[in-house]
Amino acid sequence: MSFHIYWLSVTTYIKRTIEVLPLYKNLKILAVVTTLMMVFVQIGGALVTKTGSADGCGRSWPLCHGQIIPSSWPIETIIELAHRGVSGMAIIMVGLLGWLALKLLPHKRETRFLVMMSIGFILVQALIGAGAVIWGQNDFILAAHFGISLISFASVFLLTLLVFEVDQKFEAQSLVIGSYLRYHTIFLTIYIYLVVYSGALVRHTNSSLACLGWPHCGQGQLWAGNFYQWVQMSHRVLAGIIVIWIFVILIHVLRHYSQYRILKYGWTIAFILVLLQALTGMLSVLTLVNIFIALLHALFITLLFGLLCYFILLLSRTK
């Protein structure tokens, strides 16, 4: 009798595994594609702002100039419609990813939280975008749009890492991280989010070329003289602190955590990303906001924020 029960449980387990494996494989593919789609949403939003395409469809949403298919197709309309299309696809894919993750990964304690964050923030992001088109918004509210989408991207990115069980490949629970690195990681992530807001404010207040010199304001000025220059120079100072802060953390990690490859290489990548972020920020000014450099500027901060959020996920699982 006991053998029969044992054999029944084994066969049931095998049957369920066979049923779940194709879904789990599809979940991995969907997670990767959704993460890439969220990157395109980030870059697309920056492209809309940089090219002044926010009014490419007038005050109509979800229609374009009151039409399903607009009669004219200037470049601003194409950019705005493409961004709307990518954002709409991203919402559908994030919803599907969340549903599959809850179905297949209910045992992971972060799954439900990350699903709620990714879906919730991408919906808020879409509502702010739609509201800006229909009613218009002031620059300070619009600047929050990029930050909200950044949280949505980070949630999807972390969910993808859970799907691939990255933390299990090196047994995250075996890491021992001291309070110095813990607190600096958390506060740095919060600080970077505030700096991202200041950078978005530079774009939405049209302050990108308020200071044509670098690192000083230029035009015979060392510092800011008007509101737009204050926005630009304040962002530069705040961003410069990030470079120094991450460099200090990297030195600390190399001295005290060199035995942990995930920390050593992770913080090295973070420092490279912040250097690239600073470089593209400088080149944006010197090239009078070259569109490709501006998009790289948005890409690097997106990747850096996602990496820091991953470090925080590690902190929640380590000693």
- Percent of the chain, pLDDT > 90? 36
The whole-angstrom separation of Cα 125 and Cα 108 is 27
The whole-angstrom separation of Cα 306 and Cα 55 is 30
pLDDT at 106: 84
pLDDT at 173: 66
- pLDDT over 50 at 61, yes or no: yes
Angle between helices 111-134 and 75-104 (to 10 degrees): 160
Q: Which candidate, 258, 281, 283, 280, places its Cα nearest to that of 268? A: 258
Tokens linked to 199: 């950078």
Tokens linked to 1: 């009798």
Cβ-in-10-Å burial (0-12, 13-18, 19+) of 142 comes to: buried
- pLDDT over 60 at 177, yes or no: yes
Region of residue 264 (phi > 0: left; psi between -120 and 50: alpha; otherwise: beta): alpha
Q: What's the average model confidence in pLDDT over 67-72?
A: 78
297 labeled part of a ligand binding site: yes
Distances (CA, A) of 252 to 182, 241, 264, 270: 12, 17, 10, 14
With vertex at residue 219, the alpha carbon angle to CA 214 and CA 221, rounded to the nearest 5 degrees, is 75
Secondary structure class of 67 (helix, strand, coil): strand
Q: Which candidate, 317, 45, 6, places its Cα nearest to that of 176? A: 317
What residue ranges in the chain does DSSP mark as E strands?
A: none
pLDDT at 17: 39
Weakest mean pLDDT among 81-90, 124-133, 303-312: 124-133
Secondary structure class of 190 (helix, strand, coil): helix
Q: Which candidate, 199, 201, 209, places its Cα nearest to that of 288? A: 209
Question: Active-site residue 110, yes or no?
Answer: no
Question: What are the tens digits of pLDDT across the range 88-127?
Answer: 899 999 999 999 888 888 888 888 999 999 999 999 888 8
Confidence of residue 311 (pLDDT cuts 50, 70, 90): very high
Per-residue burial over 89-100, b if 16 or more Cβ lie within 10 Å, else e, is: ebbebbbebbeb
pLDDT at 251: 96
83 labeled part of a ligand binding site: no
pLDDT at 272: 97
pLDDT at 222: 63
Which residue do the tokens 């460099």 mark?
247
Active-site residue, selected from the candidate residues 76, 80, 110, 171: 80
Q: Against a cut of 0.75, is the pTM above it?
A: yes
- pLDDT over 80 at 278, yes or no: yes
Question: What are the tens digits of pLDDT across the range 206-258?
Answer: 888 888 888 788 766 666 678 888 888 889 999 999 999 999 999 999 999 98
Question: What are the tens digits of pLDDT across the range 94-105?
Answer: 999 999 888 888
Confidence of residue 191 (pLDDT cuts 50, 70, 90): very high
- HEC string of 198-253 equals HHHHHHHCCCCCCCCCCCCCECCECCCCCHHHHHHHHHHHHHHHHHHHHHHHHHHH
pLDDT at 24: 61
pLDDT at 273: 96
CB 269 within 8 A of CB 263: no
Question: What are the tens digits of pLDDT across the range 138-169?
Answer: 666 777 778 888 999 999 999 998 888 755 65
Domain chopping of the chain, boundaries: 1-164, 167-318
